[in-house]
Amino acid sequence: MVLHNRVSAEELRKRLLSETFKRVTVSFYQYAKIEDPQAFRDQLYESLFKLGVFGRIYVAHEGINAQISVPEHHFEAFRDTLYAIDFLNGIRLNIAVDDDGKSFFVLKIKVREKIVADGISDPTFDMANRGKYVDAKGFNELTNDPETVIVDMRNHYEFEVGHFDGAIEVPSDTFRDQLPMAVDMLKDQKDKNIIMYCTGGIRCEKASAYMLHHGFKNVFHLEGGIIEYTNKARQQGLPIKFKGKNFVFDDRLGERISEDIISQCHQCGEPCDTHTNCLNDGCHLLFIQCESCAKKYNGCCSDECKEVYALPEEERAALRKGVEKGLMFNKSRRKRIK
């Protein structure tokens, strides 16, 4: 069996759109010791491929991190497959809050050095010494205390479109930079209750361990992140303290949590929280764009990119030569672009 995709992205997208069944977008992670990540990766790929699972999964010696799309009629078989793996038995599966079933179109499982790039090289750092889990009810109760410090461990472009009331932003677009920044920002509040949160729990769990490693005392992290919090709060009829959109790293680029629009179009400044990528492949800037500006700039971030995008493909390809790739999520801007 071939353990990687060999079909073009265009064809895969066509197949996805032609599917007649529903899909469920799911995320999960687990910090655990994996002796042979490559062998584990290959075995997992074979199992999930047979079930028609799409998505992005990272495997490392420290565990697994997954964002995937599962055919609804295969969901039980998928869950049984995971639960048959000792360290994944009973693992929490975060079901997407706002899902159109078109979040992924291919299965990619990659072996990485770490499941979250953290920049930590201290050999004494121990993920076993992590903060205390807090669920939706506990989060609401703790955050009713004005002395509780709420820390958002996501990137700027995620925070920009949605966050919890009163949350502190750690202003960076890389998690590895945020960890020491959070320690420095909160160094005078080591004895306060500190709650850390992120999208699905993986970053804030590691961040809680990092804070404890640096002498903080009362550190909590939101179980299952924003996704699990929202689902549980809705099920239990609890007030939802998150405002706006939850940014997600798939084709949806966001799931609606509340109707609040707390950000602005980066081009005209009108209220808007719709992320998009510049259609000029030589740029592919991630930015916020309203419908009016999408028409005006033809889905591009600037007049310059609009002009390039209008060129024949041969000319665009020539211009792209030598352009640095891989900037899709890191290349974000805070100022308006015109």
Q: Are 147 and 192 in contact (CB under 8 A)?
A: yes
Please report, as a single letter, which amino acid is at residue 273. D
If you search the block for the tokens 């920002």, which residue do you land on?
185
Burial of 86 (0-12, 13-18, 19+ CB in 10 A): exposed
Q: What DSSP designation does 173 have?
A: S
Burial of 188 (0-12, 13-18, 19+ CB in 10 A): exposed
Question: Which of these is catalytic: 198, 204, 300, 301?
Answer: 198
Q: Would you call 198 a catalytic residue per the annotation?
A: yes
What are residue 245's DSSP bridge partners? 256
Q: 134-161: buried (b, 16+ CB within 10 Å) or exposed (e) per residue?
A: bbbeebbebbeeeebbbbbbbbbbbbbb
Unique residue bearing structure tokens 């002395």: 147
CB atoms under 10 Å from CB of 329, counted, come to: 17
- The residue count for the chain: 338
d(CA 298, CA 305): 9
User: Could you give the CA distance from residue 100 to residue 115 in angstroms, rounded to a whole number?
Assistant: 26
Tokens of 99: 């899902």
H helix runs in the chain, sequence order: 9-18, 37-50, 75-83, 136-143, 156-161, 175-185, 202-213, 225-236, 291-296, 303-309, 313-320
Q: Cβ of 306: how many Cβ atoms within 10 Å? A: 17
* DSSP secondary structure letter of residue 161: H
Q: What is the C-alpha to C-alpha distance for residues 157 and 245, in angstroms, rounded to an integer?
A: 11
Which residues are annotated as catalytic? 198
